[in-house]
Chains A and B, each alone.
Chain A
Amino acid sequence: AQSVTQLGSHVSVSEGALVLLRCNYSSSVPPYLFWYVQYPNQGLQLLLKYTSAATLVKGINGFEAEFKKSETSFHLTKPSAHMSDAAEYFCAVSESSGQNFVFGPGTRLSVLP
């Protein structure tokens, strides 16, 4: 069965600094990987997804993530944080043989002025 870990339940960065949110997964079959963002009192919005094409995936709002099979990682990055990036970020994995997504525990990103 697949699982997801996200290192750091809370990450704080200064405005303009690099954002790095970590995600590691375990899966017995080739996975599909996703990053979702949740703003306060809102639903989950897709940032980007990896589905076995290019290993470097670009998403919305300047975010990107790199799939590294050898490290079983799919870390999310953004070169320069903006105040509006403050939110909860969830990494999710879906196995190619299965249907349901499994979400990581989430990382709350705070952006300091």
Chain B
Amino acid sequence: EPEVTQTPSHQVTQMGQEVILRCVPISNHLYFYWYRQILGQKVEFLVSFYNNEISEKSEIFDDQFSVERPDGSNFTLKIRSTKLEDSAMYFCASSEVVRGGELFFGEGSRLTVL
């Protein structure tokens, strides 16, 4: 069964360092998303991406964040200068359609900022 894969599963970094989280969405999906979940809290929307550009983003997704689809398969989330409060589980998701379609989630990348 096709699945969304994310790497790394866990990354520990120092405050101020740049981090890139990688995702490989399901191959025939066209819509891509990043969500984050701070430990013990709700799953929060960060950004959605379609046709090589951001289609929606939340207030959380400030200038420190960027997304990119560098090739035909990968979808990356970059945090330019990490803060302690960026520590969270980051989930990538993809969907085949934009409305009414389910999101398929990866297993998540746990980011710990020290």
Chains A and B belong together in one complex: yes
**Residues of A at under 8 Å CB distance from B?**
32, 34, 36, 42-46, 49, 51-52, 90, 92, 94, 96-106
Q: Is B68 on the interface with A (CB-CB < 8 A)? A: no
Number of interface residues of B (CB under 8 A): 26
Number of A-B contacts (CB under 8 A): 63
Which residues of chain B are within 8 angstroms of A90 by Cβ–Cβ distance?
A: 42-43
A44–B43 touching, CB < 8 Å: yes
A32–B100 touching, CB < 8 Å: yes
B56–A99 touching, CB < 8 Å: yes
Q: Is B75 on the interface with A (CB-CB < 8 A)? A: no
Checking A51, A96, A101 against B103 with a beta-carbon cut-off of 8 angstroms, the contacting residue is: A101
Best-buried of B31, B33, B99, B104 by chain A (most CB within 10 Å): B99
Ranked 10 nearest A-B pairs via Cβ: A103-B43, A44-B105, A51-B100, A43-B107, A43-B105, A105-B42, A100-B45, A32-B100, A46-B102, A99-B48
Residue in B closest to A106 when the chains form the complex, CB atoms? B42
In the bound complex, how far is the Cα of B98 from the Cα of A96, in angstroms?
9
In the bound complex, how far is the Cα of B110 from the Cα of A88, in angstroms?
17
A43–B42 touching, CB < 8 Å: no
A43–B91 touching, CB < 8 Å: yes
Q: Is B44 on the interface with A (CB-CB < 8 A)? A: yes
